[in-house]
Chains A and B, each alone.
Chain A
Amino acid sequence: MAGPVVRVQNVSKTYYRDETPVPVLEAIDLEVAEGEFVALMGPSGSGKSTLLNLIAGIDRASSGRVEVAGSELSTLSEHALATFRSRHIGFIFQLYNLIPVLTAYENVELPLLLTPLSKSDRGKHVMMALDVVGLADRKDHTPRQLSGGQEQRVAIARAIVTDPTLLLADEPTGDLDKKSEEEVLTLLKRLNTEFKKAIVMVTHDPKAAACAARTVMLEKGTLVGKS
């Protein structure tokens, strides 16, 4: 197996409600190898999304180390974290979170605006990503003109367009019908097997988790099992 792309060591996260500490994650250890597909399962409030946010560098651990693609995230400034995210992370949200005023093409192009690529090079990357998700012909449609499944596929194209080191998906099928759910899961599996993308996916759904090579169970902020 290749070296870990994610290394979480003894990580805890505590939120404060007024002055009362609310522990969400406690002493988590997790490694994700390069090209590995890991599902994070657990009941609501178990800390799955919080752990995903820590790995994505959009939240900071209260203690412990989170190392992704060779960067120890706690040492990075906010600005450096933003650069880290743009280079290494592709994020897929449960509610797609496309920008409603932009077309599918423009939504996918958004992360590329942060790169020094020319307009024509950006165009090539965007069309390639839309082609992978099978929506090249819907490039001029706005999110409102797309179905939920199509929106999520555009969101996946946006996540992969920069060729990130790691794909993070927060319940990517949680808001989809059965057919769309299957399409999205097939697409994620293809990204893992064909494009060798490391994926960490948060899910409630055992069927979705079955697509992953490994499932990690979280309960009340601690890892309780692996399969």
Chain B
Amino acid sequence: MKFLPLIWRNAVRNRLRTILTLAGIAFLLFVLIFVMTGLSEIQAWEGVAATHRRVVVQHAEGLTAELGIELENFLKGDVISRHAEHVCKFNWFGGYYQDPKNWPPEFAVDPTAMRALFDELKINDEDFKKFSETKTATLVGIRLMQKYNWKVGQRITLIGTFYNANPELDIVGVFTTKDPRQEEQMFFRWDYLDELLQNRKIVSTYWMKARSDEDIPKLKELIDAHTRNSSTPTETITEKEFANQFMQMMGNIKAIVAGIGALVLLIMIMMTANTMAMAARERVTEVAVMRTLGFTAGQILSVIVAESLLVSLIAAAVAIGGSLLVFNIGGFSPSPIYFPVFLVEPPTVLTALGAAIFCGVASSLVPAVRAARRKISDGLRQVV
């Protein structure tokens, strides 16, 4: 700690250079945090999905194809009921509210099954009763309510893009849950959507809850075997697999993020190393003087590395603080459609901090070792 004033003064010796280096590192760390947050948001659904025993039945050709309504009878029949309960039609609506930029995740569901199926959602009994009794009712997550400043009792209109329908919905209640992402969702009734679509009985997926983990493979086998030779063959998967297929659609996103992260780190190290090399070169005589005073090579090395580390950590504080301010407090999302919530999570913060520490140490190590190893008499003779 007693060397801190020396380290600090050296770090800010050339203010413009330090500010530019600091800004560069902070910007790159911000990019790293941004990309990692994007990845963690994509993976968040997978994480939530893994904690439930929900099973999804979709068309074997994928989500673009529809399932038949007649499948519901089989799914609610005795054979499947032994292994699953709360069978629920589940259609992603894909409409916007007032402006195409406002695209909350809206789902058309069976009111009777949805509450038990999504039992992590806390819904007031009275609100749920209204949802069950009112065809145009919608239940809205608390964060979504706050986002659009909606009130219970308000009527809102969604403009369909995927379906040719514009449901007018009455907000009858609000739900909360642990995961803020789910609080950005809204549910309305499948039968109302069907009515708007002239009773075409379009079902994109069926969801249900397996009675136990052991029932999941049995359900996959039974349901897919039942539909194998029909006009609508199915693929039965867990909710986690369902979430994962969205990630697959985006390509090998983990590899892309890892690549960007490595590149960011490399540029950070090169940039800081350049600054530290210049700083060390300018101070050859000073280092020799300090060693004449009795500083050991190890102490010189520590002072130079600490200086670089200090700059990197300040940059990390700026980047982390800035991103928390913009995303977590300010609620900014780069794409409200794909990322209704864009929250910087603690592991992302720790990774950014780790990257800054690694950059600080790695970039200064070579100039620091060279400075510490230089002969004192050579250093004293040097004219800078």
Contact = CB atoms under 8 A, between A and B. Distances in A.
Interface of A: 50, 53, 56, 58-59, 78-79, 82-83, 85-87, 89, 91, 93, 97, 99-102, 106, 110-111, 113-114, 119, 158
Given A89-B294, A106-B6, A111-B293, 5 more contacts: A58-B291, A85-B292, A89-B292, A101-B9, A102-B5
A97 B286 contact: yes
A85 B376 CA distance: 12
B294 A93 contact: no
A82 B291 contact: yes
B293 A110 contact: yes
Contact of A78 (B9, B285, B290, B297): B297
At the interface, is chain B mostly helix, strand, loop or mixed? Answer: helix
A101 B13 contact: yes
B2 A113 contact: yes
B74 interface: no
A18 to B, nearest CB: 16
13 contacts: A50-B377, A58-B377, A79-B298, A82-B291, A82-B296, A86-B294, A86-B295, A89-B294, A91-B292, A101-B9, A111-B294, A114-B294, A158-B293
Contact of B294 (A50, A83, A100): A83
Nearest to A86: B294
B289 interface: yes
Contacts, number: 69
Contacts of A78: 296-297
Interface residues of B, number: 24
B328 to A, nearest CB: 37
Interface of B: 2-3, 5-6, 9-10, 13, 285-286, 289-299, 375-377, 380
Given A59-B376, A59-B377, A113-B2, A99 B294 contact: no
Given A58-B377, A106-B5, A113-B3, A99 B289 contact: yes
B285 A97 contact: yes
A58 B13 CA distance: 27
B347 to A, nearest CB: 38
A111 B295 CA distance: 8
Contact of B380 (A93, A100, A111, A158): A93
Nearest to B9: A101
A93 B291 contact: no
A217 B144 CA distance: 90
A113 B380 CA distance: 21
A58 B290 CA distance: 11
A154 B5 CA distance: 19
Contact of A86 (B2, B9, B286, B293): B293
Given A99-B289, A102-B9, A119-B2, A58 B376 contact: yes
Contacts of B290: 99, 110
B91 to A, nearest CB: 67
Contacts of A101: 9-10, 13
A99 B377 contact: no
A53 B377 contact: yes
Contacts of B296: 78-79, 82-83
B295 A114 contact: yes
Contacts of B13: 100-101
